[in-house]
Amino acid sequence: MMTTAEQTIPRYKGKRHRLDRPELLAPAGNLEKLKFAVHYGADAVYIGGQKYGLRSNAGNFSFEEMKEGVEFAKTYGSKVFVATNIYAHDEDIDGLEYYLQKLEEVGIAAIIAADPIIIETAQRVAPGLEVHLSTQQSTLNWQAVQFWKEEGLPRVVLGRETSFAEIAEIKSRVDIEIEAFIHGAMCSSFSGRCVLSNHFTDRDSNRGGCCQSCRWKYDLHVDEEQLYDEEADPFTMGSKDLCMIDYMPELIEVGVDSFKIEGRMKSLHYVATVVNAYRQAIDSYFEDPEGYVLKPEWVEEINKAANRPLNTGFFLDTPGAEDHIYEPEEKAAPYDFAGVVLEYDEASGVAVIQQRNHFKPGQEVEFVGPGGRFFKQTVGEITDSEGNSLDAARHPLQLIRIQTAQPVKPMDLMRKKISKK
């Protein structure tokens, strides 16, 4: 896991471009995650519909769910974007116009697209939708960005391989919004160019079917010869995850307009925790740019939700062998999501919690809320909704009651430390 003390890469020293407040853009794999992302501080969320997106296994949204998500986001002043970022084959085109018009009708603010036919169709039949260029286009230089601006696009999502210096060059030459991934999984291939999944499983990674071949375990052979001990652990070739919490001033000042968090397949706890940390960092910078200091608790929160070891991707240099994962590793995050607060009675100090993972009396837990609200406590007596005492909260989505050491609010999260056993 990353700590600020371990960050030895020199800070970006290039030209500063702006001090406007950037957008914090969060993933949402389903309606519940959308609501938590917005509640914990996202300015916008990106989701998938039931067609044309690259996460076919996510809990993708119906039009009715999209409409509900849009209305919820509006109450916070947030927006909803929809990923329509497949590379379409001929059979994918039927129904495209209707789909895009329905997105506009339910109030979606923008689509994220890579295929020119999807881009052109949206501009023609759904002019109320902004079109943002997907990272699947692997846009890495200012001339390519200029091309897409001339095609009428207001925003480009850069390829994950773009460096700070290249972003500075783009911002100095092209007046356009730039969106960049600042946290989450990194593809071992160039953005939008992987076909491992296609060859190994006949699941098209560019049409939403990626099987994450780079995360599989492999043996290494040359002809018939295995190159290491047969009893050794197989290796993977996945990259470490991106984390730029240590570089908020640089990201803001180089001119990134939208800070994008990866993870439509990630858990509710992951989305809320990561959004919460970056929200605090961004707000803290704008409260006092000159006196900004990275707080250790933000890094600690990020690490509690991390699935893999973390690094800074391509922002500061080209990743090397040390930035990839070649051997099986223990889960990075030492905490499990245990429950969600639904109600709190101030008179009694008792919270109604919806269980998400097993916990029991005597166990230490943490409560987390938006804006950095946080405390630890030991779980006391647990009762069910009828007041019966329980020896544990065992059942998924079970409603239980416990006394909390401090006041809590609806949508606060409760988590527990994972036993080393």
Evaluate whether 187 touches 324 at the Cβ level (below 8 Å). no
Give the chain's domain count: 2
Residues 6+ apart with CB under 8 A from 273: 40, 301, 302, 304, 305, 368, 413
42/168 same-domain check = yes
Q: Using the structure block, give the residue that is written with the tokens 């006949």.
A: 202
Residues 6+ apart with CB under 8 A from 159: 135, 137, 138, 139, 140, 190, 191, 192
The answer to whether residue 208 sits within a structural domain is no
40/89 same-domain check = yes
The answer to whether residue 226 sits within a structural domain is no
What would the pLDDT profile of 372-404 be if each residue is shown by its tens digit?
Answer: 999 999 999 999 989 999 999 999 999 999 999
Residue type (1 letter), 274: V
249/311 same-domain check = yes
The answer to whether residue 202 sits within a structural domain is no
The answer to whether residue 220 sits within a structural domain is no
The answer to whether residue 199 sits within a structural domain is no
Q: Nearest-CA neighbor of 338 among 324, 357, 325?
A: 357
Evaluate whether 388 touches 376 at the Cβ level (below 8 Å). no
Q: Nearest-CA neighbor of 258 among 89, 23, 3?
A: 23
pLDDT of residue 222: 74
- β-strand 44-48 against 79-84: which pairing, if any? parallel
3-state DSSP helix/strand/coil % of the chain, to nearest 5: 30, 25, 45
pLDDT of residue 218: 74
25/151 same-domain check = yes
- Does this model's pTM top 0.85? My answer is yes
What's the number of CA atoms in the CB half-sphere (13 Å) around residue 91? 1
pLDDT of residue 36: 98
Question: Degrees (nearest 5) of the Cα angle 339, 348, 365?
Answer: 30
Tokens encoding 74:
């509006």
280/358 same-domain check = no
Tokens encoding 342:
């639904």
Domain termination residue (choose one: 290, 325, 360): 325
Domain termination residue (choose one: 325, 348, 376): 325
Buried b (16+ CB within 10 A) or exposed e, 240-275: bbbbbbbbbbbbbbbbbbbbbbbbbebbbbbbbbbb
pLDDT of residue 223: 77
22/71 same-domain check = yes
Q: For residues 220 and 177, what is the distance between their CA atoms, to the nearest angstrom?
A: 44
Strands ordered across the beta sheet of 399-403 = 374-378, 364-368, 413-417, 335-345, 350-355, 399-403, 382-384, 389-390
For the domain that residue 138 is a member of, what is the CATH number?
Answer: 3.20.20.70
Burial class (CB in 10 A: 0-12, 13-18, 19+), 94: exposed
Burial class (CB in 10 A: 0-12, 13-18, 19+), 213: buried
Domain span at 66: 4-192+237-325
Cα radius of gyration (the chain): 22
300/352 same-domain check = no
Tokens encoding 359:
């916990």
Cα distances from 413 to residues 38, 53, 95, 124, 407, in angstroms, run 14, 29, 40, 43, 13
The answer to whether residue 408 sits within a structural domain is yes
321/345 same-domain check = no
169/89 same-domain check = yes
Q: Using the structure block, give the residue that is written with the tokens 């062998």.
A: 321
For the domain that residue 389 is a member of, what is the CATH number?
Answer: 2.40.30.10
Q: For residues 415 and 237, what is the distance between their CA atoms, to the nearest angstrom?
A: 31
Domain termination residue (choose one: 273, 294, 325): 325
The answer to whether residue 210 sits within a structural domain is no
Cα distances from 388 to residues 353, 359, 384, 391, 393, in angstroms, run 15, 16, 5, 10, 12
What's the number of CA atoms in the CB half-sphere (13 Å) around residue 340? 17
22/121 same-domain check = yes
pLDDT of residue 9: 38
Q: Using the structure block, give the residue that is written with the tokens 């923008």.
A: 110
266/148 same-domain check = yes
Q: For residues 323 and 55, what is the distance between their CA atoms, to the nearest angstrom?
A: 25
The answer to whether residue 83 sits within a structural domain is yes
173/265 same-domain check = yes
Tokens encoding 8:
């030895």
Which parts of the chain have pLDDT scores under 70? Answer: 1-19, 54-59, 189-193, 197, 202-211, 214, 227-236, 326-333, 420-421
Q: Using the structure block, give the residue that is written with the tokens 């946080």.
A: 374
Tokens encoding 12:
């970006």
